[in-house]
A = this chain, B = another copy of it.
Amino acid sequence: MNYPGGIKHKIKNDKTTTINTNYGNRGMTLENELNSSNDYYRLIDKAIIYKKPTPIKITNVDYPSRDKAVIKEAYFTVPSTTDYNGIYKGKYIDFEAKETKSTTNFTLRNIHPHQIEHLKSIEKHGGIAFIIVRFTILNETYLMPINKLETFLDNNNRKSIPIDYFREKCYLIKDNLKPTVDYLKIIDKLMEDKNG
């Protein structure tokens, strides 16, 4: 049996700290961990993947001096695409990452329908498209290829994906030291499965 982040993780946490026991890797957010993992991948020249800047609509900019611009009013806008993209082994990589505090399911409202369409389109064009979902309380992080998400959506009318679907059909990203979220290990596996 596989208890991702269960028994194994408890032991690990006992060793380091008793605070935030079940709240994931040392209290870091998934975004921070992915950014540092991507930094590491770039450092060892394994992949070039970045988080895109947050899309913002700027409505007022002030120029207190010639070379300095201060944005005085701006609004967050709905992103057209996903948060992360880049290149790995010559392939275009594209994904969205989300955290949930739920211990039972992942609400689909967390991902915009046009982001799902975008990921489907990327796969059609020969890219590698997926989502990464972390159940923070359980400290379980999964990689779900876009085709698994499509299969779920085609066969279910639910507004959320139960954790068992992740556990049974998706790929657990095991806790790792460096990089913290070694999601390219899963991509290697998916590439192997495709080629062999």
Residue numbers of A with Cβ under 8 A of B are 45, 47-48, 50, 52-56, 58, 69-76, 79-81, 85-92, 94, 118, 121-122, 125-127
Contacts and interface: CB of A to CB of B under 8 A. Distances in A.
A90 B124 CA distance: 9
A125 B48 contact: yes
Total copies of the chain = 2
Contact of A80 (B50, B71, B73, B121): B50
Majority SS at the chain A contact face: strand
23 contacts: A45-B121, A47-B125, A48-B122, A48-B127, A50-B81, A53-B53, A53-B54, A54-B58, A56-B56, A69-B75, A69-B76, A70-B75, A71-B73, A71-B75, A71-B76, A74-B74, A86-B92, A87-B92, A87-B126, A90-B126, A90-B127, A91-B92, A92-B127
A173 B69 CA distance: 33
